[in-house]
A and B are shown apart, each in its own frame.
Chain A
Amino acid sequence: MSGYRSRNLSYILIIISLFLFFNIVVKGENIHIHINGQDKSQELAPVVQDNVVYVKARELARLFNAEINWQQSIKTLSISDGQVLIKMMLGNPYIQVNNRTMRSKGSLLLLYGHTYLPIEDIARCFGFLFNREGNNIYLSRPETFIRDIRWGKGGQAIVIEMDNIVPYRINNTNNPARLELELEKAALADDFTDNISNKNFYLAVTPVAEEARLKISIISQYPIPFLGDRSIAEDGENLVINFLPYITGIRWKKDQLEITASGQMARPEIMLLQEPRRLVIDIPDLMLSDFELELDNNPWIKDVRVSQFTYDPIVLRVVLELYPDRYLHLLEDTVSSGKLVFNTTERTSLTDLAFEGNGIRFISDNKISPEIFKLKEPDRLVINILNADRGEGFRDRIDVNSELLKSIRTSRFNEETIRIVADLKQDIGYSLLERQLSDGRFMNIILFENSFKELLINDSELKTDLVLSFTGEVDYEIKESSGTLVLEVSGVKSAADYRVPAPLGVIKDIKVKPSTERGEGIRFEFATGEYDNYKVFSSKPATSITLSLMKGKIKDRKISNLILLDPGHGGFDPGAVGPSGLTEKDVNLAVALLTAEILQREGYNVMLTRNDDRFISLKDRVEMANSLEAMLFVSIHSNSANATYSEGTETFIAPNKVASSQLLADALQQNLLKELKRYDRGVKKENFYVIKYTDMPAALVEVAFISNPHEESLLASNLFREKAARAIAQGIMEYMQKINNGS
């Protein structure tokens, strides 16, 4: 009894003495304290003294889930959440946090019979972010710490390294030279390093107090080559912002103009404009930056201007001001090589057009690089000669009426281009020959003849395919004798040697020789191993011939305990397509290949219905499974629905095969949930083609929703794909073990 009384007495005394000491305590009625977005001012009853905000200790401890303890004998308050232990002594500005001591802006207060704590220091000690804006105080505990922001992929990407990925978004700033990314519940780590800022880039990180967000801004003097939301990807626990390539150089090299970039360029759109005469080259998805300009004293280009023509879509415009009568044209085949190369074309006069032998010939003043292409219905060959005029003996029309050609027509296609059209009687190959005459002019010959282009061999479990292609239509005949398949092709020019691939699958040897059996031709002799029958997938005549040698007696080569994985969709069937363009077929194949790898490493026999991006009908997938007598069949898919909020993982079995497949499906679904932690949509029964018609236990997994933007970004990441593969492999192995133990 007396103890209580004396304690009460001492409280009163302390309070009185405090009032005497600090008589400037202000009730903080207009101070608002938000913890994780919620206003807790009512409970915390903030007061202000010497511009330090204090709150009720017990209420703060309750909100922080901490335990509070007052030791009267040493006038010390201790507060702990199990990880952080803070001790404060009445009126002492030094506070002890675990094993270190720090000086606080305020100290423990006793007011109106309650203990009060300086909120800023205590919150920070408990790992909260503290932001004060006027009378509003925001406390939030970050879910992730950013450790490093650096360049990746050789300057082609920005990598944000953090503990774990939190919700993020790219702000639309309307300033192409400013990239703004917002991360929720994120903070900079103590050892954060900025490895981005350099002479071109500046990094600024600002907390958005109200909602505990972190705003990361990257500011450049040039437009930053990123594609908004489309350029951001998750890579493990890092965020990666991928950049578009930028221009690095425009150089004059040996009578050619070269445009180079930091990455692959797409095919540009090119226009020739007059007054002043200029070539306008619009290159899509390419960014402006400092680039090297070396024009020497070339006689073609007067001046170059480069600008970022538009930002949406992103287009870089290069304008080349040309000297009169000068023209440059793009060498088409350089587009895929990562640089754009333009050849020079001088104004040239074309003369003496004629049809001779098997070809069209004409003379040009200068060397030309015509653009030649075929058109169908009716078959035509079009030759565009840029920067040219028609001179003597270059008639509008020549009626040929040869075996191959009906006629040749010429016209001025536009101000810059002369066009020659050869009306063909059939689809035939051609080659362009050029010879310099003694007077310095050039003789150009377009020779009509078919030649052999290439032979491809594909081997699969079911068949070996031979695909032969020619520059034009050929006729052919196939003869089968024991151990040899002979293909006689006529209407094609023979050559001294042919490039053919190494034998594969059923094909044991390939011999190619000129043939004279039915006019000029080529004879292909394929030595074959054992096969069932062959099928031809081409009409007659054809520019490409496909022969499939179907393998027989698959059952003799049956693999015991075979696991057949079925990556859904493929080829022209992309499956579902995500909001940012990710295709289901690619995800399915990647996950299936990773799954196969794990299972093979564990010693299981695994095969896939497809190893690459090709279309296989549902019926063929089933046939493959049944003829191989696989032990189990798992089809791998990514889900989609007409609602971006649909999410989660589900596994399907066929209603006619519940007994045999339920165990497999349960093992798959449980492991996927454990590994991927997505919403559980359950194991369902549906009449899906591949799981219904296969003779063995079968399940179809839908890993996650590609139609859901968040799950799409997960499905795009390698880490998530690996996790999915691990789960599917684990599910299969668990099932196998159960089956083996049970039997």
Chain B
Amino acid sequence: MTRRALDWRDLILGLFLVAVATGALWMTRRLPIGSAADMGPGYMPRVVSLALLGFGAFFLLRGARHAGAAIEPVHLRPLLAVLLAVGIFALTAERLGLAIASVLTVLLAGLATRETRPLESIGFAILLSGLAALLFVKVLALPVPLWPR
């Protein structure tokens, strides 16, 4: 018995779209729809969500019937490092100030590849942090604290 070939790219995309559309339909369930001549706030969300639901179902069906190109393997290291770097910026920028947040962000992002050299990365992080502070806080007067409050 042979296993049926699947198109995982279609299946995952279909699943994603169905999930988003269902979520949107659920969230807008209480908004009045109105009529075509006098649309309520729920009219367009429902039209668009239903269309998305249709697309999701289409991709799910298509993915289950045909084989497709394989998904390239996911490398966790760059994915996690870049997302964590952004996360640490969001967590620290207003509490610890731009100077420290910048250094942390650059260092964490650097972990995304094996090519990063620790000493060079630290020096570069401090340099970038100084540059960012000068440019955004001094020149552009971005209202973000520079140092911990």
A binds B: no
